[in-house]
A = this chain, B = another copy of it.
């Protein structure tokens, strides 16, 4: 498994954050720079640590797959893509200008940073928050650092540097770093029980990811060195295969962080440690139910289904795919595909959310996809997104991009309010405000989701494209400019002009610095019924929904691709085995899943009494209208519907005093015939719950027209 990867020594680098160039400063070749740690590192170890012949820090992508032998696709740096005005610019703006700053203040006011300062003697506040609270700070640091990969943001950088100071000051001389397992709790640290439930390695996984993102933003490696010390100085000498002390992951996360660290340092021990953790250690035995819940403790390659805690499961799959990308281990690849098939065939919401059950925040049985009782944690959608990115990198297969995009635009996007200050923990597919607590909140005691969504949005430019040995892949649509290079070294600029996701036309210019033959792999989404492509006005045959359309030719600067995707709204039905979706449809237009909110429907009818009147035609007959003044600008969909009964308007999903009995003799067609007509207005799901509390429904009953 795997092969020799050439290494060289990671020696001092003079690069600093000040060296960050703005996107307009042009393209760079592979630097292969010799790096060295930032100036003030308080490293207690030899500062020379192994390094593979990486691209330079500023040229590394969200994942640094440049040297990953089983990655077909290779990331482009976040800074290589500038997102122009449009859908994601709006979301990015909310993220960078509102969400990241306000979340910082909330983390601060809830004592999360003081936990570190306390250990450095800079605060006398008590320890506060759960054993996983450190990870919130790290994940926020990662989110901020990805934002800094796109632009300098000096004030934010100052804040992050100050946090890094505090974090590093809290590290023990032996490399251990955790603000919870200290003082009276120190004796429990790294015991098997604490590993199972204490999130120590989970925290460090996020610490490493934050450190790497900051390093890739600034070239500063103080936090990175602290992370390396934890791994190399604290963890490796004492923990691992016998005769060392055993490890159980508990909450998978460290695995993908270790592989990414390996990608940075070239230290194969870090990769091996990830593999050891993914395999589990038979010396720590846990009951089967615990192993299912933890999605760790037994060999990853023995898994047959996605199960247990959904975030744990998704993170484990991310780590295992990362491990595969470096090692090519066929057993891992088989398992990963088995799990992906299981998830997408029976356990994923139409929104790309996963994890049906509140109990254990877990995957349910096959086809167990309740709507009002959905869990679909934002973090799990992030995990689904990240996992599919890795599967895509391994294959270039558009089926992974389809899932990635579904989660991104819907079940992940819904996790942050339009203004960037409120967050969903659960992402329900039906909602009755009279039954439920507020669904969007500024703060949760378990604040995992908000910074997780933040880091995804911050890093999003890095997901638009990948390079391959023979060209470039275009994954995501949106106004944007890529300035990067082909793997041949030829600088390349690509622009996209589009109203996506509101419109299905994309104008793409491909501008290599010099003419040359290569392939543009143009994604044709699986959701479209048909797509057409022209190059410099000439129709190109063969675009297939769900696949990348391979455009191999000699490209010259300014070559123009036009992509047209049929965005006719579609009514989707679920497998008849999904109990709650029988007789219902979900509406999708382009990548966006739609929903009904009570507030948009006619007065006098409860949402639960409405149905959609559909005929047998292929075209379901929706009217699409872009409303620039609604919800930050959305295309609403209108369609004829039916209402079961007139009832006074109420802000509940179902009328509280039903006119009918709970059970009554079946009458064929009675529901349809008793209904009056009612015009329905659908909004994109991601934008729900951004006005007053209002009942919401994704899966709408059908009345056959």
Contact = CB atoms under 8 A, between A and B. Distances in A.
Nearest to A436: B365
A289 to B, nearest CB: 10
Given A579-B580, A582-B701, A368 B373 contact: yes
A79 to B, nearest CB: 36
Given A572-B666, A579-B580, A668-B704, 18 more contacts: A344-B662, A364-B373, A365-B432, A366-B654, A366-B656, A368-B372, A430-B579, A570-B665, A573-B663, A573-B665, A575-B662, A576-B644, A582-B582, A583-B583, A615-B668, A616-B667, A616-B669, A669-B704
Interface stretch (A31-39, A144-152, A345-353): A345-353
Contacts of A661: 345, 575
Contacts of A579: 370-372, 430, 579-580
Most interface-central of A620, A660, A704 (chain B CB within 10 A): A660
A655 B608 CA distance: 31
Contacts of A575: 658, 660-663
B574 A663 contact: yes
Contact of A365 (B348, B435, B584, B614): B435
Contacts of A657: 345
A30 interface: no
Interface string A475-499: 0000000000000000000000000
Contacts of A573: 663-667
Nearest to A593: B663
A571 to B, nearest CB: 4
Given A368-B373, A435-B365, A577 B654 contact: yes
Contact of A614 (B358, B368, B585, B668): B668
A395 interface: no
A573 B655 CA distance: 18
A367 interface: yes
Contacts of A653: 577
Contacts of A93: none
Nearest to A367: B654
Contacts of A663: 350, 572-575, 586
A-side interface mostly? loop
A290 interface: no
A358 B704 CA distance: 35
Interface of A: 344-346, 348, 350, 358-359, 364-368, 370-373, 430, 432, 435-436, 570-580, 582-586, 608-609, 614-616, 618, 620, 644, 653-658, 660-669, 671, 701-702, 704
Contacts of A576: 608-609, 644, 671, 701
A571 B668 CA distance: 10
A612 to B, nearest CB: 9
Contacts of A435: 365-366
A269 B662 CA distance: 41
A656 to B, nearest CB: 7
A571 B615 CA distance: 27
Contacts of A580: 579-580
A372 B365 contact: yes
A357 B456 CA distance: 34
A581 to B, nearest CB: 9
6 contacts: A365-B372, A371-B579, A585-B666, A616-B668, A620-B666, A668-B702
A408 to B, nearest CB: 17
A309 to B, nearest CB: 15
A664 B372 contact: no
A392 to B, nearest CB: 19
A406 to B, nearest CB: 9
Nearest to A587: B666
Contacts of A668: 614-616, 702, 704
Nearest to A371: B579
Contact of A665 (B572, B658, B667): B572
A634 B519 CA distance: 70
Given A370-B370, A665-B572, A704-B669, A583 B585 contact: no
